[in-house]
Structure 1
Amino acid sequence: MALDLAHLVSTPDIRCLPRHQAVLVGAFRYMHLAQAARRYSRQEFALVLGSPKAVAPFHVFASAIGRAWPEPIQLNPPCQPRLSYDEMLILDLAAAAVNGDRKAFDWFVAEMLPAPARYLLWEAVRRFMGRFLAAA
């Protein structure tokens, strides 16, 4: 039985994710590209997220990731249906926060982030996901 390396390293397809997860990944990609092109609009971003009330908590969450991550976050371009490993990790962190599973959350990033950074990220993702899912 041969080992298929491509299967081993493949990542999920955004088109196969639940809607709220696909929107979350798309929001990170949109924000990155819109800011890089100097075309960011808070009103348009509220449409991407589905609620103006989710915009500020998203920015706090994204900022917490930016400060905590040891390297620049890797996002795939919108034309790439496969998730990056950082995008997969963001979804795992968001799911742990929604489920109130701090133990899983810490397990995902314990080797990468010190406890104070994990705490700030935990608080930011919980606040964002509460607003984001309330609008869904």
Structure 2
Amino acid sequence: MPEPISAFAQSLAATPKIAALPAAQMRIVVAMRIAVLAWKKRQDPKPYLVKQLGDEIVARHFAHIIELMSDCWPEPMAVHRPCCQQTSYDEMLMLDLTTAAVQREPDHFHGLLGEMIGRSDRQKLHFAFTKFAGRFQR
């Protein structure tokens, strides 16, 4: 019989609930879920993203980020169903990458992706996140 997981181990593995996130971060997580699900169903996510993000250009930038991530991620992106209250690690990484772009911290952005993806892909993603973050803040 496996040993029960300690409270400490559970706390290290926990991700925040969507309701605990600031409104802007919540919108990004939901948009990510929508976009990934649309791509899996071979649908254009932009009409859904416009409703979620409130702007056609922001939606286009965000869809481009998801497309780039799909192309360069070592495994399929892990997102939860839209109704799930927990956040996934990829959803949290999306928020961290967006924050690094908003705060103009390219070294931190590249550090978050570490050895996960190559430099060229990191640079493409950084450029895409910077364009998204600049427009999303308006």
Q: Which residue is equivalent to 2:3?
A: none
Q: Distance in 1 between matches of 2:67 and 2:115?
A: 20
Q: Which residue is equivalent to 2:30?
A: 26
TM-score normalized with structure 2 length: 0.87
Q: 1:111 to 1:26 in 2, by over 3 A?
A: same
Q: Which residue is equivalent to 1:100?
A: 104
CA contact (8 A) 1:31 1:45 kept: yes
Q: Which residue is equivalent to 1:68?
A: 72
Q: Which residue is equivalent to 2:17?
A: 13
CA contact (8 A) 2:61 2:131 kept: yes
Find the partner of 2:63 among 41, 53, 59.
59
Which residues of structure 2 form unaligned runs of 5+?
A: 1-5
Matched, 1:132 2:136: yes
The CA deviation string for residues 66-120 of structure 1, in whole angstroms up to 9 with x for no partner, is: 1121110000111211110111111111100011101111111122011101000
Identical counterparts, % of pairs: 33
Note the C-alpha offset of 1:10.
Answer: 0.7
Number of matched residues?
133
Q: 1:114 to 1:35 in 2, by over 3 A?
A: closer
**Structure with more relative contact order (C-alpha pairs < 8 Å, separation 6 or more):** 1
Residues 42-57 of structure 1: matches in 2 within 5 Å? Answer: 42-57=46-61
One-letter amino acid of the structure 2 residue matched with residue 92 of structure 1: D
Q: Distance in 2 between matches of 1:13 and 1:79?
A: 11
CA contact (8 A) 1:74 1:85 kept: yes
TM-score normalized with structure 1 length: 0.88
CA contact (8 A) 2:74 2:116 kept: yes
Find the partner of 1:80 among 61, 76, 84.
84
Cα RMSD for the two superposed structures? 1.8
Q: Which residue is equivalent to 2:114?
A: 110
